[in-house]
Amino acid sequence: SKDIQDLDFALQAGVDYIAISFVKSADDIRKLRELVGQRTERAVKIIAKVERHEAISNIDEIIEASDVVMIARGDLGVEIAPERVPYWQKEIIARALEKSRTVITATQMLESMIERPTPTRAEASDVANAIYDGSDAIMLSGETAVGKYPVEAVSTMNRIARTVESMLKRQAPMKYPAQRTVTSAISTAACELSDSLNARALVTPTSSGTTAQIVSKHRPHAPILAVTSKRDVVNQLAMMWGVEPILVQPARTTDDMFEKAVSIAVDRGLAKPGDEIVITAGVHVNVPGTTNLIKVHRVE
C-alpha cells in the first residue's frame, strides 16, 4: 500500500519521528511500531495525532503506547464540538505529562497569518495558553505550508513562546508523581534537588532519551543538559521542553561520565567555580533504563 511505501521512504531518509494520522486506539500505534521494528534497528519515535473522537475515548491507552502526542485541533474540532476542544487540549496535555510523554499542540495557531503579516490578539493568546497548558512544542501548518508570510509566522510564534516562557520561569515547577520505576523516581528527585538548591544546571546522561524526557515534564528552573553518545537521541531530544541535547563520546565509567557532565556545564557557561549542578547517572553506563544515582557537584 502507499502507506507502507511512504514508511519505507521515510525510514530510508533517516527520519527521527513518524506521525500516524487519525489514530483510533493503541493498536494503531502498536502496528506501526511493529512495522518500523521490522524495517530498522533505529529507535524511531512515534507521534500519535489526536484527530478523531475515537481517540478521545481511548486517549489514555494512546498516550501510553506513543512517544509523542500531537493535538491536531483543526481536524479534532470537526470531529467534536469546537467548544469542547479547549477542554480536551488541556486534558490531553496534563495526561501526557503525567506519563512523561512529549506533547505538540498544532493547527490553527496563527491562522490569520496565512493572509496577513500580523496575528490577531486572540491568536497570540491562544499560542500563549498552549504553552501555559504545558506543551513541549507548538506547530504551525497552513501558515508556513501555503501562507503568504511564513517567516513572519515563525518569528511571531517564537517571540510569543520566549516571552511566555520567561514569565513561567518565575512560577513554581510542575509537580507530577513519580511513576513506579527507579528511573522515574530518581529523575523526579533530581528536579526537586535542583530547584531547592537553585542549581545552575541539571545534567542527565541518557542512552535512550527517557531520563531527559521524565526530567523535562517537571519543568525545572535549571537548564537540562541531556548528554548522549547517540546522534538519533540528540535529534529526538530537540523537541522536548527545556532540554539541550549534547553529543559526546561514550563514557567508560560513572566517574568518567561525571567528569564529562561537569566539563560540559562549565564549557557552556552554565556553571562557574562555586556553583552547584545536579547530575543523574546509572551504574551501568550507556545502558538504557538504568538511571539509579543522583550527585550534587560543586564546581571547583
Q: What average pLDDT does range 264-280 have in this prediction?
A: 88
pTM of the model: 0.90
Q: Quickly state the pLDDT bin for 175 (edges 50, 70, 90).
A: low
Q: Is 252 helix (H, G, I), strand (E, B) or coil?
A: coil
Element (DSSP H or E) covering residue 292: strand 291-298
Domains 2-168 and 182-298 fall in the same CATH topology: no
Question: Do the Cβ atoms of 153 and 144 come closer than 8 Å?
Answer: yes
Instruction: Tell me which CATH homologous superfamily contains domain 2-168.
Output: Phosphoenolpyruvate-binding domains (3.20.20.60)
C-alpha cell at 214: 521524565
- Kindly state the percentage of the chain with pLDDT values over 90: 68
Q: Would you say residue 286 has pLDDT above 80?
A: no
Q: Give the residue among 125, 133, 210, 233 at the shortest CA–CA distance from 174.
A: 133
Closest by Cα among 261, 249, 259 to 286 = 249
Alpha-carbon separation of residue 139 from 69, 144, 180, 224 (angstroms): 12, 10, 32, 22
Q: What is the pLDDT of residues 217-250, one digit of tens each?
A: 989 989 999 988 899 999 999 999 999 998 888 8
Strongest mean pLDDT among 47-51, 172-176, 197-201, 204-208: 47-51
pLDDT beyond 60 at 289: no
Which of 241, 101, 99 lies closest to 179 in space, CA to CA?
A: 99
Q: What is 50-63 written as a DSSP string?
A: E-SHHHHHTHHHHH
Cα–Cα distance measured from residue 130 to residue 137, given in angstroms and rounded to the nearest whole number: 9
pLDDT-based confidence at 282, cuts 50/70/90? low
Whole-angstrom distance between the N-terminal and C-terminal Cα of the chain?
A: 60
Give the right CATH number for 182-298 from 3.30.420.40, 2.30.42.10, 3.30.530.20, 3.40.1380.20.
3.40.1380.20
Ordered by start, the domain boundaries in the chain are 2-168, 182-298
